[in-house]
């Protein structure tokens, strides 16, 4: 008998198969909670700590607290939740650096590839949309210095955000 690999998809399917529904809300019993935590810990032990932490946060904040409608599949709810978290992170970054063109920043994040971390899609458009005056980051004197520092920060931030929320 071949053991099924424990990965995020396996855990999502396990949870999805074990959730119940009460008054239109997805619910789990205590035994299912215990199994979910065991599986998430196993995922972490196998070197997937970032994914495990994200799954743990989702089940604790959304499933265990009764925030998930029974009208949506569990894995779809998880994907939507990650997209919302990604959008919040993009907005925070844009506010911090004074990036006004959110659509371009969103497209850039979506197209960014870890295999080519030195390439930031739409970097010129992002730089052109920077308003240094409204940026929360006031460390840099002058727009040019601000954009130079943004370029350094953008690559690291995109790598981190894509690896955590994609």
| Model confidence pLDDT, tens digit, residues 41-93 | 988 998 889 889 999 999 999 999 999 998 988 889 999 999 999 999 999 99
Q: How confident is the model at residue 20 (pLDDT cuts 50, 70, 90)?
A: confident
H-assigned helices in the chain: 8-18, 30-45, 49-58, 74-97, 102-111, 123-128, 143-165
Q: Three-class SS of residue 121? A: coil
Residues 22-51: pLDDT tens digits?
889 998 899 989 999 998 998 899 888 988
Give residue 5's pLDDT: 58
Query: Using alpha carbons only, how large is the chain's radius of gyration in Å?
Result: 20
For the beta carbon of residue 31, count every other beta carbon within 10 angstroms.
Answer: 9
Q: How confident is the model at residue 111 (pLDDT cuts 50, 70, 90)?
A: very high
Q: Three-class SS of residue 25? A: strand
The domain spans of the chain are 8-72, 82-161
| C-alpha closest to that of 137 among 126, 125, 156, 150 | 150
CA distance 68 to 99: 33
Give residue 3's pLDDT: 46
């Amino acid at each position: 008998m071949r053991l099924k690999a424990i990965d995020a998809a396996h855990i999502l399917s396990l949870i999805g198969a074990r959730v119940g529904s009460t008054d239109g809300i997805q619910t789990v019993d205590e035994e299912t909670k215990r199994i979910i935590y065991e599986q998430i810990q196993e995922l972490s032990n196998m070197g997937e700590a970032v994914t495990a932490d994200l799954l743990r946060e989702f089940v604790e904040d959304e499933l265990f607290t009764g925030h998930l409608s029974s009208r949506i599949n569990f894995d779809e709810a998880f994907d939507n939740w990650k997209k919302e978290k990604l959008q919040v992170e993009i907005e925070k970054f844009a506010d911090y650096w004074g990036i006004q063109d959110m659509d371009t920043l969103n497209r850039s994040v979506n197209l960014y590839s870890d295999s080519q971390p030195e390439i930031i899609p739409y970097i010129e458009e992002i730089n052109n949309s920077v308003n240094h005056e409204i940026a929360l980051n006031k460390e840099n004197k002058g727009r040019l210095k601000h954009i130079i520092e943004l370029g350094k920060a953008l690559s690291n931030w995109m790598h981190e955000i894509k690896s955590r929320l994609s």
